[in-house]
Amino acid sequence: MNEYKLPSAKEARFRRKTYKAPIIYDSVLLTESQKQLGVNLKYHVLTYGCQANVRDGEVISGILENMSYTFAEKLSDADIIILNTCAIRENAEKRVLGVIGSLKAYKRLKPDMIIGLCGCIPQQEEMVKMIIEKYPIVELIFGTHNITSLPKLLENVINTKKRNVEVLSVLGCIYEDLPSVRQFEHKAFVNIMDGCDKFCTYCIVPYTRGQQRSRKLEDILKEVNELKSKGYKEITLLGQNVNAYGKDLDQGYTFGDLLEKVSDTGIKRVRFTTSHPWEFDDKMIDIIAERENLMPFIHLPLQSGNDEILKLMGRRYTSKQYKELHDKIKSKIKNVSISTDIIVGFPNETEEQFLDTMKMVEHCQYDNAYSFVFSARAETPAARMKDTVSITEKKERLQRLNKRLGYYSKLNNQKWVGQIVEVLVDGVSKKNPAFMSGYTPQQKLVNFSYDNAEIGDIIYVEITQGMKNSLNGVQVHLGKENHE
């Protein structure tokens, strides 16, 4: 293991209050040999996890294409496959390990194929050691802090035919001017920050992503303006905690100010995720209520409706504060839709405490929700708590919860029947190839029949049916569609 650069759980936990993250412009400068490394070779990137990882996957693809690699549709055609991984819950990790297992067959047929691993899994000391030991086919490993080392590491693997591992546990930098191959040509993710300092007691993210570091306002606006001039209609501002945006910069602007400036660019649709209920200020609510291009959709993770559990989770709000914030958002932002994340079965959660979560669901009647059974993550405080609740009990709670969440999703979706909504067209519907699909401002998925719609158009659809996870509709013409 000595020849490898490995992460350290102790260092991953470390934070410095006065830390100012260095900004690195021209982040990926390639040597002549690196630019030619992928001539006649193909790559494939498999991304798991959150939008931050999706964005990283786009950057990894961008770096590989700058190295002359071209995209392989099929895994079997690839000369390099990179697994961009997520560690948020045990099943996310198991899934990736399963995929590595299945790649053995490809490697056998094509021994020169390089299998790379990056993202949040290798940021954990024990996990990366286990992978090094048990999965010899993984020859290239890097972490979330050094995506820009990919050219150097890959060149080493090819030239030396030896495994290269470089994972850093550092506070982190801000990388600008990153190459990227974006997933879509009409909607894009824009990172506004990385890292997280909240340390919710169950969560691995602060350990895998480092200290919170915000990009400068002008660098974000430059990216948004470039996307707009390329014809992008929608951007989603990304951060683990967008409401804390700018607090590490001391430049006197908040997320509300950033929203206002991004709205001023005139891009058609602006979304953001994730907003923690803590630090959600009035400026954010007011500006979203005021501006037409700030979409009326808020993801407001609850996690639990019980105060003791919230405290043990380190969430820093009470159920009363959550409820008040929720109600304020509902009353101030017209037609807003609200989604949430909920964890059931936090260590020692009692039936009564779980019922407080159910009560909050009855109150908030969410448009959409993601619910999870608590998964113990190594090195986190919650993983050390003794737990007396059985997994059967936890799964049974999840089922009860999902039933109510599903009921409200459907109820809320049915309220749209008969209304005409704006839809940004994403492409052919996955449900029915004769239909297209896209999202409404409220982030509702709509499958619709059409006569004049192309990817990237903003068109009108009359809603005919509301199901649990989507709406059905028919394109209508009001004469103010945007086909630009």
Residues near ligand F3S (CB under 6 A) are 49-50, 52-53, 86-88, 119-120, 204-205, 208-209
Of ligand SF4, ligand SAH, ligand F3S, none, which one does residue 199 interact with (CB within 5 to 8 Å by kind)? ligand SF4
374 binds ligand SAH (CB under 6 A): yes
Query: Which of these ranges, 37-45, 79-87, 370-378, 453-461, lies near ligand SAH under the rule CB under 6 A?
Result: 370-378
339 binds ligand SF4 (CB under 6 A): no
- By beta carbon distance, the residue nearest ligand SAH is 341
- Residue 215 CB, shortest distance to ligand SF4, in Å, is 18
Of ligand SAH, ligand F3S, ligand SF4, none, which one does residue 52 interact with (CB within 5 to 8 Å by kind)? ligand F3S
Q: Which is nearer to ligand SAH, 307 or 341 (CB)?
A: 341
Provide CB contacts within 8 A for 476, sequence distance 6+: 420, 460, 461, 462
Single out the residue of 178, 196, 295, 446 in contact with ligand SF4 (rule: CB under 6 A). 196
377 binds ligand SAH (CB under 6 A): yes
Query: Which of these ranges, 149-157, 158-166, 198-206, 457-465, lies near ligand SF4 under the rule CB under 6 A?
Result: 198-206
- Residue 257 CB, shortest distance to ligand F3S, in Å, is 25
- Site residues for ligand SAH, window 200-239 (CB under 6 A)? 202-203, 205
303 binds ligand SAH (CB under 6 A): yes
Q: Which is nearer to ligand SAH, 387 or 481 (CB)?
A: 387
**What is the 3 state secondary structure string of the chain?**
CCCCECCCHHHHHCCCCCCCCCEECCCCCCCHHHHHCCCCCEEEEEECCCHHHHHHHHHHHHHHHHCCCEECCCHHHCCEEEEEECCCCHHHHHHHHHHHHHHHHHHHHCCCCEEEEEECHHHCHHHHHHHHHHCCCEEEEECCCCHHHHHHHHHHHHHHCCCEEECCCCCCCEECCCCCCCCCCCEEEEECEECCCCCCCCCCHHHHHCCCEECCHHHHHHHHHHHHHCCCCEEEEECCCHHHCCCCCCCCCCHHHHHHHHHHCCCCEEEEECCCCCCCCHHHHHHHHHCCCECCEEECCCECCCHHHHHHHCCCCCHHHHHHHHHHHHHHCCCCEEEEEEEECCCCCCHHHHHHHHHHHHHHCCCEEEEEECCCCCCCHHHHCCCCCCHHHHHHHHHHHHHHHHHHHHHHHHCCCCCEEEEEEEEECCCCCCCEEEECCCCCEEEEECCCCCCCCEEEEEEEEECCCCEEEEEECCCCCECC
Of ligand SF4, ligand SAH, ligand F3S, none, which one does residue 425 interact with (CB within 5 to 8 Å by kind)? none
302 binds ligand SAH (CB under 6 A): no
Q: Which is nearer to ligand SF4, 198 or 271 (CB)?
A: 198
197 binds ligand SAH (CB under 6 A): no
Instruction: Report the C-alpha dihedral over residues 339, 341, 345, 351, rounded to 10 degrees.
Output: -30
- Residue 316 CB, shortest distance to ligand SF4, in Å, is 9
Q: Which is nearer to ligand F3S, 167 or 204 (CB)?
A: 204
- Residue 48 CB, shortest distance to ligand F3S, in Å, is 7
- Site residues for ligand SAH, window 249-268 (CB under 6 A)? none
Query: Which of these ranges, 77-85, 98-106, 140-148, 199-207, lies near ligand SAH under the rule CB under 6 A?
Result: 199-207
Of ligand F3S, ligand SF4, ligand SAH, none, which one does residue 206 interact with (CB within 5 to 8 Å by kind)? ligand SF4
Of ligand SAH, ligand F3S, ligand SF4, none, which one does residue 437 interact with (CB within 5 to 8 Å by kind)? none
- Interface residue list for ligand SF4 (CB under 6 A): 196, 198-200, 203, 205-206, 240-241, 276
- Interface residue list for ligand SAH (CB under 6 A): 88-89, 202-203, 205, 240-241, 274, 276, 301, 303, 341, 343, 372, 374-375, 377
